[in-house]
Structure 1
Amino acid sequence: MDGSGLARRLVEETAARAADLTRRTGAQPCLATVLVGEDPASVTYVRMKRARCEKAGIRSHHVELPATITTEELVATLRALSEDPDVHGILLQHPVGRHIDERAAFEAIAPEKDVDGVTTSSFASMSFGLPGFVSCTPGGIMRLLDAYDVDPAGKRAVVVGRSAILGKPAGMLLLARNATVTYCHSYTPAADLSAAVREADIVIAAVGRARFIKGEDIKPGAVVVDAGYNEGNVGDVDFEAAAERAGLITPVPGGVGPMTIATLLAQTVDAAERQLGATAA
């Protein structure tokens, strides 16, 4: 599954929507990116997201904070951005440092500006099928499945991983589309994990361990979505072996990653439309 190609098309559509919104309202959609410290990977990710913003006609408002910042100071910064009418979406780059209460920081983001889908409000809305924003990586995964005509209804789906912004919401989105969902994770016994994957029509790998999912465990014809990214540019699935059995599979890189950023940009324009009262007909 070509995530890079689909992401390019989504960014083009988002750019057209952003331009139309600016024409109708005089306001340009704005995404605030908040970076704590100077973690090289985080710096690179934020730079990439800001560059994508420019391509999509979205204004990027970047906030750099020292690694020594306290939870209280970070919360105050995020609340100020939430109250700024010129900011339509907020992204707090993960990780923020072990001394910071990351959940408290996420919850300081106003739900209507949580375009990364990280607050408990967004998770609840997603779980109950209410209006709101989905977590970007799971949202990108669902867009990929739709683009390749993969209907989860009636399928057995196994999600390997249970993080609050990837594994858990991915399972909830699949459940909402009438899949039968099983969660596995790092504490699942190896034999049970293998057995679950062997029965799965759809596998979502999001555990953060290189080549954790073995190719021989993939059901022939299954759809395999690898949301992992590990040292050496490898995912959570043994790609070469899995590709011999899977009907569809995402590469790493070039699969889920580009869709995550494209979904973030699309949701930023969604947020701007709602806040400006200018949702397209």
Structure 2
Amino acid sequence: MSTTFTLDTSTSRANPTPAPMKRLTVPAVRARKADGRTAEPIVMLTAYTARMAQLLDPHCDVLLVGDSLGQVVYGLPSTVPVTMEMMCNHGAAVVRGSYHSLVIVDMPFGSYEASPAQAFENAARIMKETGAAGVKMEGGEAMAETIAFLTARGIPVCAHVGLTPQAVNTLGGYGARGRSKAEAEKIMRDACAVDAAGCFLLVVEGVMEQIARDVTAAVSCPTIGIGASVDCDGQVLVIDDLLGMFERVPRFVKRYESLAETITGAVTKYAAEVRNRSFPTDEQVYRPKK
């Protein structure tokens, strides 16, 4: 038996609940790709809160606590300012709110690039404070040594190549990568390097479709596409994009709902009822019992 948490939707509190261990493991997810093929694609979405994790958990294989929270939760201009404290706090919330999915947490910019030792110290902190099963880090050949170092010391790593948002200042923007032959070859080298170093998953973001196909065929670990190809071994989206929380819809996003419009409609009604004093009604106030 293991203790997980069930979110009581009537109180919004997470209560410890003894339950049999059923959460997906790193080896189980890694094994989804066998002999170069993934029969059942891997479903991954970002999650940043316990309640959202609870809603997504039954449908996902992997929940990613992405450093994209810097933009969608904190309103920052990029992922660069995201801190370890942010990632640890939100990572712990997502673990508490989930039961089935494998949870991995992004390592924020500046927490792993200096050395393998620095990366291990911060990755270990993330895993201790959140209960997550692994970490994700951006970078290809330059991070291969670090990935091997962490993996050898019991920290599973999801790698990330192609468009790497933490390098936005070097890349000069968020445009698709691999348009030139030289850049396409570099992405392939990066992918093969992190695969050989032992990453158990590989996010391939914002690349020309054929590159994603070639990478998926070349590496032994499952690939997770975002702005890549349907032929990747799985897919990931930022949950806020999927749900239509922002007006902008990137090319690689399919909007499955328009929650921003729903929320605006609900709050418009609430504001009107407060101003015309039709809320609260008798049903929402307390009076002495007769």
Greater relative CO (CA pairs within 8 A, separation 6+)? 1
Question: Do the two structures share a fold, i.e. TM-score over 0.5?
Answer: no
Q: TM-score, normalised to structure 2's length?
A: 0.32
Q: TM-score, normalised to structure 1's length?
A: 0.33
Larger Rg: 2
Q: Please identify which structure carries the higher helix content.
A: 1
